[in-house]
DNA sequence: TCTGGGGTCCTAGGACCC
DNA sequence: TCTGGGGTCCTAGGACCC
């Protein structure tokens, strides 16, 4: 029995939200991302309006390059909380059409509307209704793809952006995909595309025409999966969002750092941020990963299992500092540090009670952390901060 | 003019146990 | 002193996605 799957993808999401909230920016090139600092800024473009794209600006472009291409654009820092709010409104609209809804990121989702056909009409009618509702109720534009599999629906939604709507009828998937470049295959990035092009494979159709097993010889087990996608064979179900497996924070220094004390201070800030997010979501970290990138862009990670799961900044910080000694970094300047909580468990699950015995004062530390969280929620993040973070450099927001 | 920050998944190799 | 194979868990790095 053939399924009907929609992929809904918001167009230029962050930039569109900014233009929605600031009418004076409508019709203008808008770039959301790092501070360009007149061309000397570090970081990349997170999102940009279609007006900005006419200058050659794209997502993930270094912000310094964006500045060169269009110094007159409107440059804005991301406002994640606002985007999350609009995202929720989008998902509420999508939820009217099916409960088989799988969020893929903050601004896109799969919908299995196989059973909804009779109620709302065919895929063309449902897709149109969703686009209209998003436009009418939120003032935003979505692109939609419809097909009998997730992969083909996703490719379809991307094909005529912005404001695209492409329906691939059942049985037409292979023909629809054949002329497209291999880079469109989900899981083929720059590296894999390069390997494939070296053996003369340029289009999805060329991959689909291989014999079974040919691609495995080249790419290992992932090869068979890609071969099936190329033929339009994808029976993965649309399923609700999975539990998060990790939760982290990282930051790139404005200038490379030599001072170990500044590295440590930043780790404390990151550990506090991660711990706060853990507490807010009722999670504890059973493990910890430290990430450190040198000025040479070589990145190292070191991981550890914590003696007991925690949601306290102090404990994450202590773990991170211990890992610092295992990273080969002291000879070179540091570009980036990060702290990621892993092995997440729900608060109260497992051995939580043992904390009181194993970590004297842990209970009181948590009480303090919660009290500070409440102040932060009421008066804004950063209202209360550690003395260790108040100094020659302001804490980053 | 270099290359963010949030994630997921896969792989290879080593430790350890039976 | 030499000899297996299998299974599981863990880590570090890397590819990929938005």
Distance in angstroms, CA of A306 to C1' of B12?
A: 24
Contacts (Cβ under 8 Å, ≥6 apart) of A86: A17, A20, A138, A140
The strand C neighbours among A residues 183-202, by Cβ under 7 Å, are 185-193
Question: Listing from the earlier edge strand, what are the strands of the sheet with A30-33?
Answer: A45-48, A30-33, A74-76
Give catalytic residue positions of A: 108
Residue carrying structure tokens 């909380």:
A81
Give whole-number Cα distances, A298 to A3, A41, A142, A190, A241, in Å: 45, 20, 38, 19, 33
Judge whether residue A379 contacts strand C, using its CB and a 7 Å cut-off: no
* Residues counted in chain A: 397
First to last CA, chain A: 51
* Closest nt to residue A223, judged CA to C1': B10
User: Which has more confidence, A68 or A117?
Assistant: A68
pLDDT of A37 higher than 80: yes
* Closest nt to residue A288, judged CA to C1': C11
Give Cα A100 to chain centroid, integer Å. 21
Residue A189 φ/ψ, nearest 5 degrees: -100, -165
Distance in angstroms, CA of A301 to C1' of B11?
A: 16
Judge whether residue A102 contacts strand C, using its CB and a 7 Å cut-off: no
The token pair at A73 is: 């654009």
Tell me what the mean pLDDT of segment A27-53 comes to.
96
pLDDT tens digits for range A299-334: 999 999 999 999 999 999 999 999 999 998 777 899
Q: Other CB atoms closer than 10 Å to residue A138's CB: what's the count?
A: 18
Three state DSSP letters for A353-380: HHHHHHCCCHHHHHHHHHHHHHHHHHHC
Residue nearest to nucleotide B9 (CA to C1'): A187
Residue carrying structure tokens 């998060």:
A244
* Closest nt to residue A298, judged CA to C1': C13
pLDDT bracket for residue A394 (50, 70, 90): very low
Q: What is the dihedral of CA A10, A106, A91, A123, to 10 degrees?
A: 50
Judge whether residue A221 contacts strand B, using its CB and a 7 Å cut-off: yes
User: Which has more confidence, A395 or A348?
Assistant: A348
Bases of strand B lying below 7 A from some protein CB: 1-12
Q: Give the pLDDT confidence score for residue A363 in this predicted structure.
A: 72
Please tell me what DSSP assigns to residue A73: S
The strand B neighbours among A residues 63-82, by Cβ under 7 Å, are 63-65, 68
Which stretch of A23-32, A114-123, A273-282, A294-303 has the lowest confidence by average pLDDT? Answer: A114-123
pLDDT bracket for residue A120 (50, 70, 90): confident
Distance in angstroms, CA of A3 to C1' of C10?
A: 40
Residue nearest to nucleotide B11 (CA to C1'): A220
* Closest nt to residue A222, judged CA to C1': B10
Instruction: Kindly provide the residue ranges of all beta strands, DSSP E only, lying in chain A, ordered along the sequence.
Output: 5-10, 30-33, 45-48, 74-76, 101-105, 108-112, 142-147, 165-167, 247-257, 283-294, 299-310, 334-346
Judge whether residue A43 contacts strand B, using its CB and a 7 Å cut-off: yes
Tell me the pTM: 0.89
pLDDT bracket for residue A347 (50, 70, 90): confident
Task: Name the H helices within A139-220.
Answer: 150-159, 173-177, 190-198, 204-208, 214-219
Please tell me what DSSP assigns to residue A129: H
Q: What is the dihedral of CA A208, A212, A216, A219, to 10 degrees?
A: -10
Distance in angstroms, CA of A77 to C1' of C2?
A: 66
Name which of A246, A363, A355, A271 is nearest A309 in CA terms.
A355
pLDDT tens digits for range A184-196: 999 999 999 999 9
Q: Give the pLDDT confidence score for residue A105 in this predicted structure.
A: 94
Give me the helix-helix angle, A13-21 and A80-94, nearest 10°. Answer: 100
Bases of strand C lying below 7 A from some protein CB: 10-18
Tell me what the mean pLDDT of segment A196-206 comes to.
95
Task: Supply the mean pLDDT for chain A.
Answer: 91
* Closest nt to residue A194, judged CA to C1': C15
pLDDT of A360 higher than 90: no
pLDDT of A48 higher than 60: yes
Judge whether residue A180 contacts strand C, using its CB and a 7 Å cut-off: no
pLDDT tens digits for range A122-170: 999 999 999 999 999 999 999 999 999 999 999 999 999 999 999 999 9
Tell me what the mean pLDDT of segment A253-268 comes to.
95
pLDDT bracket for residue A380 (50, 70, 90): low
């Amino acid at each position: 029995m053939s399924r009907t799957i929609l992929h809904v993808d918001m167009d230029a999401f962050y930039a569109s939200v900014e233009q929605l909230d600031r009418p004076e920016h409508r019709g203008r090139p808008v770039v959301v991302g790092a501070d360009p600092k007149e061309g000397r800024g570090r970081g990349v473009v997170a999102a940009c309006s279609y007006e900005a794209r006419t200058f050659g600006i794209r997502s993930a472009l270094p912000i310094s390059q964006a500045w060169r291409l269009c110094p007159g654009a409107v440059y804005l820092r991301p406002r994640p909380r606002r985007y999350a709010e609009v995202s929720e409104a989008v998902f509420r609209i999508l939820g009217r059409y099916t409960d088989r809804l799988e969020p893929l990121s903050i601004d896109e989702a799969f919908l299995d509307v196989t059973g909804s056909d009779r109620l709302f009409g065919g895929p063309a009618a449902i897709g149109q209704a969703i686009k209209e509702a998003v436009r009418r109720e939120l003032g935003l534009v979505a692109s939609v793809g419809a097909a009998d599999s997730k992969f083909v629906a996703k490719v379809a939604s991307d094909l005529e952006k912005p404001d695209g709507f492409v329906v691939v009828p059942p049985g037409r998937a292979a023909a629809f995909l054949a002329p497209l470049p291999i880079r469109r295959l989900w899981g083929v990035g720059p590296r894999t595309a390069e390997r494939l092009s070296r053996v003369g494979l340029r289009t999805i159709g060329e991959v689909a025409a291989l014999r079974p097993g040919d691609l495995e010889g080249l790419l290992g087990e992932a090869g068979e999966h890609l071969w099936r996608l190329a033929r339009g064979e994808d029976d993965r179900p649309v399923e609700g969002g999975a539990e998060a497996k990790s939760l982290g924070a990282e930051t790139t220094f404005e200038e490379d750092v030599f001072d170990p004390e500044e590295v440590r201070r930043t780790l404390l800030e990151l550990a506090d941020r991660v711990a706060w997010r853990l507490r807010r979501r009722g999670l504890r970290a059973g493990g910890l990963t430290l990430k450190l990138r040198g000025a040479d862009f070589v990145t190292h990670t070191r991981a550890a299992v914590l003696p007991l799961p925690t949601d306290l900044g102090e404990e994450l910080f202590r773990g991170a500092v211990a890992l610092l000694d295992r990273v080969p970094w002291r000879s070179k300047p540091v570009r980036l540090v990060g702290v990621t909580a892993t092995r997440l468990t729900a608060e109260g699950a497992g051995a939580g009670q043992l904390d009181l015995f194993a970590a004297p004062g842990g209970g009181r530390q948590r009480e303090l952390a919660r009290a500070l969280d409440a102040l932060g929620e009421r008066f804004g993040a950063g209202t209360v901060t550690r003395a260790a973070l108040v100094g020659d450099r302001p804490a980053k927001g």
